[in-house]
Structure 1
Amino acid sequence: MSRFFDTLRASGIALADILYTKPTYTEADYPDLTGKVAIVTGSTSGIGLKVTEYLLKQNAKVYICGRSQARLDTVVGSLKTQYPNASLGTLAFDYSDLATIKPGLQTFLDEEKRLDLLIHNAGASYMGNEHKTVNGFYNCLQVNAIAPFVVQKHLDDILIQTAKASPPNSVRIVWLSSLAIFWAPGKSGLQLEDVNFEKTKPTELLCYGQTKSINYFEAYVWGLRHKDSGVVSVSVHPGLIRTELTRNANAFMKKIVHSFAADVRYGVYSVLYPALSPDITTEDNGGYFIAYGKKGVPRTGLPEMASGKEGEKLWAWLEDITSDFN
């Protein structure tokens, strides 16, 4: 814990500024989204569900994602009750099984000609040393970092195509990172020689923190590799929010969340600032945003590492391990 606070101070960040700030961009500021199409992953509960509601209020067409079609249908039924005129679609695939992603996204790619907003919201906490997926990765690592990379690869073309036919800076990718990057291993927040903790013993904070650092790198490196695409790619720490993500957390983390966490709508304010604000442009590519609607500062050195050999090495690793699921 002391290393966490030391890292915060080294980055010039006061914890109070993260936990106790007022939202800067809220419902009254959101634009009309008629004609816009969005995908929100992990959208059957928590921040993802609430983000979906706010986008529907602004007349966007939203595709929600989840593991179970039955669960998705239940959520759609509930949303339709609240918003009878809502335009909703569902995409069923399981982040714990990478082979399900491509066929799960095919429905969207067959039906839609545009994608204006992609929010990588789905996430999982660390569930113990024995919990690995059918693909051989720790569930936390795969759900938080590897699966979003696969989803992104399948949606790159339609995002870029949309950006070329849309007003500048209006097509965006938002990757949900976390304050947990300050707990991530090493100077870069990555354990590049042992990302899946095969040689070293993982802990909850190290494993989860590394996945959130990877999300920061994904946002940054995607922007570098697609700098002429017209698409904005950023990451966001949504704040300490009460969601189901902590259901598998240890007692200490649950106590912290219970004591300090904000209502889920504040997480929405954090996410929809970089997703919708006119203040954000491609000049912000790779940017890190914090609660509740501010440009933030990541760990000291992370931007330089993301733009250097660490970013290249991570991207190459992600490309290699996901090549069978393109």
Structure 2
Amino acid sequence: MAGVGGYVPPDVVTNKDLTRRLRTSEEWIRTRTGIGARHVIAPGTATSDLAVEAGRRALESAGAGRVDTVVLATTTPDRPCPATAPEVATRLGLGGVAAFDIAAVCTGFLYGLATAGGLIASGGAERVLLVAADAFTTLIDPGDRATAVIFADGAGAVVLRAGEAGEAGAVGPVVLGSDGELGELIEVPAGGSRQRSSGRPAAVGEEFFRMRGRETFRHAVERMADAAHAALEGAGWTVADVDRLAAHQANARILAAVGDRIGIAPGRRLSNIEEVGNTGAASIPLLLAQATARGEVRAGERVLLTAFGGGLTWGATTVTWPALPSP
């Protein structure tokens, strides 16, 4: 990792704002999720707008005017076709480079990290801009208390370059997994080829994101923790070697359970969920960008990353944090 950047849109929705339209209380939201506020896009704003800003900041952080490839991890592309990454690349002045999207929901950043690393290791690229961006509120039913209080919009990005295993910024082996049998735990039923080819219009509400919370909680904790231990083993680290845990900011209860299961003390867990909510694929890189800006993660520290998302998908990896200018 040679650069990092993050961006959230300026409009903020507080817990108090949500209580005006949902049958809930500020105390219930904070107790259940650990979230106090979330950033949301303004009308007419799209995922590409978030991605461009985070990508620009990551390029500035890396001092890189040019990269070979742009990879965008997102569940909310601007359009079903074409991919959003080429537009992001062009708006960043990178027209002509390879650019493509990855869809792995909240694990998208780690899937993108493995993909970018493979391109670099194979000689297909020397520098890759990996952006994770989601305008998740465009998928959420504003009247659904279970999801409207959790999800938000944002973007995070990193610049990756070829390097040596022992130097600062080195990314360890990326552990990835999936389970399609449980895909219905986290889904948007309508809008894809299955619903479109069925000959029936989408039922009311099928265009919105759905999540079976109790089952998702259990799988998220188990999969993130197991992947984290596998990533530590692959890197030759022990739990005691970890200075900071950067887990997907799903909700505060999941974060606490994951940290406890891995064996990472609360003081070593990075978190921004209280102020930004669950930003989907953007969660981990946005967290890293904000932690860098605040001095919460410093050069030389060993950071463990782990995430879980729809698909089901999950993953984990390690990184020795480099010296980076504040994004």
TM-score > 0.5, shorter chain as reference: no
Which protein is richer in helix relative to its size?
1
The TM-score with structure 1 as length reference comes to 0.35
Higher RCO, 1 vs 2 (CA within 8 Å, ≥6 residues apart) = 2
The TM-score with structure 2 as length reference comes to 0.35
